[in-house]
Structure 1
Amino acid sequence: MRLARWLYDRIKAQYEHLPSDETVDHVIAANGYTFTAEGRRFG
């Protein structure tokens, strides 16, 4: 039962972390993405 709880906690942490503003900003910067004022990907 402890393993199931541990796995659940890890999955939940990733689920909450991945869509965070900080993570999204990091991915955008790391990949050199640029966007127009309307929010469309540029370049």
Structure 2
Amino acid sequence: MKTLVIGSGAMAPSLALCLALAGHKTALVARRSAALPQAEAAV
């Protein structure tokens, strides 16, 4: 039981990091796709 707790405890930060990275990447893609029409209009 103790190893299970340690395993989940070690897993939580990396899982949170993965979620944060995924959210950041999604935000970057959304911002880029939102900026694309403006860039095409500028060209």
TM-score, with length taken from structure 1: 0.49
Q: Answer with 1 or 2: which has the greater Rg.
A: 2
